[in-house]
């Protein structure tokens, strides 16, 4: 791939993450696959808004989808998302750069219980 296409791909990832709502959706998807209605319910937003943001994330390559009947389930793209365990942070690796994700609340509380 050329440098210009690598830069365009990286910019698409960053643009997709450049919205607070999509960052919140990313946090929801870290827990596992979710349908549009699951995301809307968790985030207390309209289904149309959740669908819009998930569509943009999918077009940028941040998510993958699978259909079960009338439902489409979104997951973080395993080609760029790495779940780390034992005190290490989850990572989005775009090739051009890596984004370390904050520890999730349940991970933080579990770590506090171990101390």
Domain 3-114 architecture: Orthogonal Bundle (1.10)
d(CA 52, CA 43): 14
List the domain boundaries for the chain: 3-114
Model-level pTM?
A: 0.79
Question: Cβ(33)–Cβ(72) under 8 Å?
Answer: no
d(CA 3, CA 106): 39
Could you tell me the maximum CA-CA distance found in the chain, to the nearest angstrom? 48
Low-confidence ranges of the chain (pLDDT < 70): 1-2, 85-88, 104-115
d(CA 34, CA 29): 6
């Amino acid at each position: 791939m050329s440098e210009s296409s690598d830069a365009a791909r990286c910019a698409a990832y960053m643009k997709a993450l450049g919205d607070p709502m999509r960052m919140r959706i990313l946090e929801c998807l870290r827990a596992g696959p979710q349908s549009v209605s699951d995301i809307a319910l968790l985030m207390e937003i309209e289904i149309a808004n959740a669908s819009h943001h998930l569509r943009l994330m999918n077009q940028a390559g941040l998510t993958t989808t699978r259909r079960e009947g009338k439902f489409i389930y979104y997951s973080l793209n395993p080609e760029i998302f790495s779940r780390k365990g034992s005190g290490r942070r989850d990572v989005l690796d775009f090739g051009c750069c890596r984004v370390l994700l904050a520890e999730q609340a349940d991970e933080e509380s579990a770590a506090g219980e171990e101390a």
